[in-house]
Amino acid sequence: MAVIVGRVHAWPTPQVPQLPGFPAPAPVRVHDSSTGELVEAAPGPQARLYACGITPYDATHIGHANTYVAFDLLVRAWRDAGKDVVYASNVTDVDDPLLERAAATGVDWRELAASQTALFCEDMTALGVVPPATWTGAVESVPDVARAVADLVESGAAYRVPLEPGAGGSTPELGDVYADLTADPRFGTVAHLDREEALATFAERGGDPGREGKKDPLDPLLWRRERPGEPAWDGGKLGSGRPGWHIECAVIARDGLGLAAGERFDVQGGGSDLLFPHHEMSTSHLRVLCPGPEGEPAGARTHVHAGLVAYQGEKMSKSLGNLVLVSRLRDAGHDPMAIRLALLAHHYRTEWEWDETSLPAGEARLVRWRDAVSGNGGPSADATLAAVRAALADDLDAPAALAAVDAWADLSLAPSRDTSADEEGAPGIMARTVNALLGVRL
């Protein structure tokens, strides 16, 4: 595989056909993980989404695919509803786990990141996922993040923490930089965790509550100074180093979505393990970075989280090694559309387990749907199109959408059925519906 090191480039956009009755009449509503309520995902004519991207140190597993297919459904439903969709995302192409994996395997971290990012693009292309309009790597965002962190230090919303001996390159007197969470009175309003839960989750998910010199154990890292053997970039007044993960996403979201001061965007998305601390912290950074003139809260209006996929009884994770990789399934000859259907059989918010029945069920459904749309005429597709739209508008209920198409396929394939009311072109409308709204090419 040719590896290009540098800026990240998103994969090609699949063709999304326009459907009869465009724009869809009902607004798309989603479950807001912050409030537990079903809310209109994008009240205005524009729909702005930021979905957190991958850290490219292991190829796309079914859990990643499940998350990006979920947000792809949102993008497709919004487009069908006539929204002007602005979708931004990132690739965390420098971070601790990536560097650890590179060191453990003896691969240059840049090559590891570039090759895994390329593989992710291939997987997303195969799965028919609409790419983000702006897709930004952590490395290319370093100058912007460094400027943002310097501003936060300047305004008193961030502070330096002294380094251990040997760290900090030629300017060891400049410490690591942490956000002072007291600068944001709304901190905690994304995940609503109590102090004890917050501290435990922070420690469990990459935080450093025990770091000496912090004002508060929960304060998150904004700028990590240069360490021996680690890559570092010129951070101007901050000294050499690299960005923390939460501030990286905040700055990429701000710039990728073109957020003005105090401006909110519609949906912040990711896997459910990102709710805290990642989305709590990155939202807090956005509020402090770009407050409105009247102190309006910046950040996402709605937080949407996809459930995690388990395998062999445990959460699928790189550290446990129980990964089902999309690329491996593709290499084994499985149709990516069957993989997509296997994912869509579960509501995006559920926690479920991939097992040996998942893919065969997706394959059987794909074969049946392809059979059902193979004729020139067939049962009217109008009610099914309306049902698929309604299902997606109701918190992206893919299983309900699949059931509606299954019912149409059953009718279409029923032996010795009455064909007198068949409509010419109905199978074509059904195929376009499934393609446009569910991303399944028949």
Q: What is the number of other CB atoms lying within 10 angstroms of the CB of residue 390?
A: 16
CB of 222: closest distance to Zn ion in angstroms?
14
CB 293 within 8 A of CB 218: no
Nearer to Zn ion, 52 or 157 (CB): 52
Answer for the pair 327, 123: CB distance below 8 angstroms, yes or no: yes
C-beta of 283 vs 412, nearer to Zn ion: 283
Determine how many CB atoms are found less than 10 A away from the CB of residue 402: 21
Kind and range of the H or E element at 187? none
* Burial 83-114, CB ≥16 within 10 A → b, else e: bebbbbbbbbbbbeebbebbeeeeeebbebbb
User: Rounded to 5 degrees, what are φ and ψ at 96?
Assistant: -55, -50
Distance between the two ends of the chain, CA-based, in angstroms? 29
Instruction: Say which residues have a Cβ less than 8 Å from residue 115's Cβ, sequence separation at least 6.
Output: 1, 3
Determine which helix (DSSP H) or strand (DSSP E) holds 80, and give its type and residue range: helix 62-80
Closest to Zn ion by CB, 135 vs 311, is: 135
- 3-class SS at 269? strand
- CB-nearer residue toward Zn ion: 249 or 306: 249
Residue number with CB closer to Zn ion (267 or 426): 267
Supply the minimum distance, in Å, between the C-beta of residue 173 and Zn ion.
31
Nearer to Zn ion, 65 or 426 (CB): 65
Compute the least distance from the CB of residue 316 to Zn ion, in Å.
Answer: 19
Q: How far is the CB of 270 from Zn ion (least distance, A)?
A: 6
In the range 239-278, which residues lie near Zn ion by CB under 5 A?
A: 249
Residues 104-133 within binding reach of Zn ion (CB under 5 A) = none
Unique residue bearing structure tokens 């459930």: 307
CB of 255 to Zn ion, least distance (A): 14
CB of 52 to Zn ion, least distance (A): 3
Q: How many residues bind Zn ion (CB under 5 A)?
A: 2
Binding map of Zn ion across residues 3-42, x = CB under 5 A, - = no contact: ----------------------------------------
CB of 50 to Zn ion, least distance (A): 8
Q: Is 388 in the site for Zn ion (CB under 5 A)?
A: no
In 3D space, the residue among 56, 124, 123 whose CA is nearest the CA of residue 90 turns out to be 56
Closest CB 94 distance from Zn ion, rounded Å = 14
Nearer to Zn ion, 72 or 280 (CB): 280
Residue 274 or 372 with smaller CB distance to Zn ion: 274
CA dihedral 173, 179, 182, 184 (to 10 degrees): 150
d(CA 326, CA 442): 19
For the record, the structure tokens of 216 come out as 């508060």
40-69: which residues touch Zn ion (CB under 5 A)? Answer: 52
**Where on the chain is the footprint of Zn ion (CB under 5 A)?**
52, 249
